[in-house]
């Protein structure tokens, strides 16, 4: 062995070999050595995995899914009943869509927008609401040529970097209704009716509607001047945020939840007292339509909603009686200038959104019934390897014929499978063992009487249907849902 070889061997022994652990990544890099290269093991610690989602985001567990399913079914049925067509828009849009439509001075854009730059350099954001995306799609796909009003329905997650609290997470879900192309206040009344009916159809019977008119750009200019003059005279008593809002978004001050700001807002000029003739007639007609519908409402002069695109009608839907606990479930209003703002022609429009999490919280509070899915009346038990193989085909045949079947594939003993069948409360169990698999037969066990009979697999489907009462045969059609 030469001196150089001995030196390399000595250095190689001196390198500490690091073993990989659950929190370790082992990498190698070449290190120059006299005469030849060698590899050195480098240890890099991994960050531990946090077994929970980010703050303000939650899992929807199986026990809560019946409530979510009920909301989905009721909202989709309501959309069909009122003539709305389903449309889904992306979770991610270009950031300037929200900056321009919602308003740079709003809390949603200033404080709550999840915005970032992609690897390709695009400035994008997670949608903080759906209306801007729906209006963008309305323009992009030439929906303006469709017969009016164009009614669109959407559901899905929304993202806002807000302080998490009950019913308001950073990832939450909305039911969204939008209608484009009609300025008649009868559409405003129908949208309010649709929102109210949807909530009541979920079992939340005590519903209140708060309504206001914030006018159009013509009359709002004069009103804003009056409001700003009043607020400036009281500026020292406003909260820090509202002092800033005087310049950028004075109407938002009326919606501030701080006690001192609420007290000042109560004495502030009211928008309904300063409407132009067109807006005044529109609001008066809307109230007459609501009276005709016997739909109770309260005029709330401090209701403005938090987004810049609203004009004329704004409303919110609240749950609870006059004396009891109240909670906001959603709201909406007109946005007659939004489509033009995005580059289209002047298009009157109105929409509303309801928060799914808030609806479910209220459903639980009033003990409204969640969706109750159909229960299986038949259980399929199998014993032995050949029977397992045959049972998969048998399960498929039963399912294709509209018979809801429960099974416990993988369980070893017949006794344990029958325990599962008893727990599920099925009417009959189909038993497929080694002998039956070879003979092409199945044992039918009546779980009430305990009686058993053997039938051929060729005649099994018809026999099971005859044994089950007609209303117990679950067929997957819409008319069998319990909306």
344 and 405 share a domain?
no
CA dist., res. 45 & res. 22, Å (int): 9
Say if 223 falls within a structural domain: no
User: At 444, which CATH number?
Assistant: 3.40.50.800
Give strand ranges (E) for 326-402: 327-334, 349-355, 378-382
Q: Using CA atoms of 143, 148, 153, 158 in order, give the dihedral in degrees to the nearest 10.
A: 60
Name, of 162-166, 381-385, 479-483, the range with top average pLDDT: 381-385
Which of 251-255, 385-389, 409-413 comes out lowest in average pLDDT? Answer: 409-413
Please give the tally of structural domains in the chain.
Answer: 3
314 and 441 share a domain?
no
Q: 472 pLDDT band (50/70/90 cuts)? A: very low
82 and 198 share a domain?
yes
Question: For 391-405, what is the mean pLDDT?
Answer: 90
Per-residue confidence (pLDDT) for residue 438, from 0 to 100 = 92
Per-residue confidence (pLDDT) for residue 17, from 0 to 100 = 36
Q: 103 pLDDT band (50/70/90 cuts)? A: confident
Per-residue confidence (pLDDT) for residue 409, from 0 to 100 = 84
Q: 57 pLDDT band (50/70/90 cuts)? A: very high
Final residue before a domain boundary, out of 365, 398, 429: 365
* Residues 296, 320 contacting (CB under 8 angstroms): no
Q: What are phi and psi for residue 140, nearest 5 degrees?
A: -60, -40
Q: Tens digit of pLDDT for each residue in 173-205?
A: 999 999 999 999 999 999 999 999 999 999 999
Question: For 451-462, what is the mean pLDDT?
Answer: 91
Which of 70-74, 350-354, 447-451 comes out lowest in average pLDDT? Answer: 447-451
Say if 244 falls within a structural domain: no
* Interstrand relation of 298-299 and 207-213 (parallel, antiparallel or unpaired): parallel
40 and 84 share a domain?
no
Per-residue confidence (pLDDT) for residue 271, from 0 to 100 = 92
- In this predicted structure, the answer to whether residue 9 has a pLDDT above a threshold of 60 is no
- In this predicted structure, the answer to whether residue 21 has a pLDDT above a threshold of 50 is no
67 and 112 share a domain?
yes
211 and 317 share a domain?
yes
For tokens 């329905």, the residue is: 153
Domain extent, residue 36, equals: 3-45
Q: 470 pLDDT band (50/70/90 cuts)? A: very low
Say if 169 falls within a structural domain: yes
CA dist., res. 18 & res. 117, Å (int): 38
Q: What is the rounded average pLDDT for all residues in the chain?
A: 86
92 and 187 share a domain?
yes
Per-residue confidence (pLDDT) for residue 182, from 0 to 100 = 96
Per-residue confidence (pLDDT) for residue 408, from 0 to 100 = 84
Q: 410 pLDDT band (50/70/90 cuts)? A: confident
Say if 372 falls within a structural domain: no
Coil, helix or strand at residue 7: helix
- Nearest alpha-carbon partner for 381 in 472, 444, 423: 444
- In this predicted structure, the answer to whether residue 377 has a pLDDT above a threshold of 80 is yes
Final residue before a domain boundary, out of 365, 392, 416: 365
347 and 418 share a domain?
no
27 and 160 share a domain?
no
Say if 460 falls within a structural domain: yes
Say if 268 falls within a structural domain: no
| CA-angle at 99, arms to 88 and 310, nearest 5° | 75
Say if 226 falls within a structural domain: no
Computed from CA positions of residues 71, 83, 187, 149, in that sequence, does the dihedral angle turn out positive or negative? Answer: positive
CA dist., res. 174 & res. 482, Å (int): 22
113 and 190 share a domain?
yes
Q: Tens digit of pLDDT for each residue in 308-351?
A: 889 999 999 999 765 566 789 999 999 999 999 999 999 999 99
360 and 393 share a domain?
no
Final residue before a domain boundary, out of 318, 340, 365: 365
Q: Which one is predicted more confidently, 173 or 267?
A: 173
Per-residue confidence (pLDDT) for residue 307, from 0 to 100 = 81
User: At 79, which CATH number?
Assistant: 3.30.930.10
pTM of the model: 0.82
Strand-pair partners of 150: 180
Q: Which pair of tokens denotes residue 229? A: 């003059």
310 and 447 share a domain?
no
Say if 370 falls within a structural domain: no
| CA-angle at 218, arms to 137 and 189, nearest 5° | 60
């Amino acid at each position: 062995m030469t001196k150089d070889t001995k030196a390399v061997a000595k250095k190689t022994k001196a390198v500490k070999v690091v073993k990989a652990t659950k929190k370790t990544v082992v990498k190698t890099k070449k290190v120059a050595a006299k005469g030849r290269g060698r590899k050195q093991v480098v240890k890099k610690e991994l960050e531990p995995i946090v077994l929970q989602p980010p703050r303000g985001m939650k899992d929807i567990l199986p026990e809560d899914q019946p409530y979510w399913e009920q909301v989905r079914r009721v909202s989709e049925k309501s959309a069909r009943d009122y003539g709305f067509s389903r449309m889904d828009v992306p979770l991610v849009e270009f950031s300037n869509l929200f900056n321009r439509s919602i308003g740079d001075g709003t809390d949603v854009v200033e404080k709550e927008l999840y915005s970032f730059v992609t690897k390709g350099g695009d400035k994008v954001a997670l949608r903080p609401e759906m209306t801007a995306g729906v209006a963008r799609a309305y323009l992009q796909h030439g929906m303006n040529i469709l017969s009016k009003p164009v009614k669109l329905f959407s559901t899905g997650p929304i993202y806002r970097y807000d302080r998490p609290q009950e019913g308001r997470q950073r990832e939450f879900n909305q039911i969204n209704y939008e209608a484009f192309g009609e300025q008649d206040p009868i559409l405003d009344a129908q949208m309010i009716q649709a929102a109210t009916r949807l909530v009541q159809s979920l079992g939340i019977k005590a519903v209140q509607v708060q309504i206001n008119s914030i006018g159009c750009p013509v009359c709002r200019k004069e009103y804003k001047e009056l409001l700003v003059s009043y607020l400036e005279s009281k500026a020292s008593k406003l909260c820090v945020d509202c002092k800033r809002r005087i310049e950028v978004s004075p109407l938002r001050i009326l919606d501030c939840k701080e006690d001192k700001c609420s007290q000042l807002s109560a004495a502030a000029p009211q928008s309904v007292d300063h409407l132009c003739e067109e807006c005044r007639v529109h609001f008066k007609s809307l109230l007459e339509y609501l009276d005709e519908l016997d739909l109770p409402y309260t005029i709330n002069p401090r209701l403005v909603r938090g987004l810049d695109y609203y004009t004329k009608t704004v409303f919110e839907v609240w749950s609870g009686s006059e004396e009891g606990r109240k909670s906001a479930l959603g709201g909406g209003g007109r946005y007659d200038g939004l489509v033009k703002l995005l580059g289209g022609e002047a298009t009157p429009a109105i929409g509303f959104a309801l928060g799914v999490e808030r609806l479910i919280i209220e459903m639980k509070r009033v003990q409204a019934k969640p969706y109750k899915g159909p229960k299986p009346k038949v259980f399929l038990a199998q014993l032995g390897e050949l029977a397992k193989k045959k049972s998969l085909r048998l399960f498929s045949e039963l399912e294709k014929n509209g018979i809801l079947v429960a099974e416990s594939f993988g369980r070893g003993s017949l006794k344990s499978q029958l325990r599962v069948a008893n727990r599920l409360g099925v009417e009959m169990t189909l038993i497929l063992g080694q002998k039956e698999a070879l003979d092409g037969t199945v044992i039918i066990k009546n779980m009430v009487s305990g009686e058993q009979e053997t039938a051929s697999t060729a005649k099994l489907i018809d026999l099971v249907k005859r044994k089950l009462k007609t209303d117990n045969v679950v067929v997957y059609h819409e008319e069998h849902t319990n909306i």
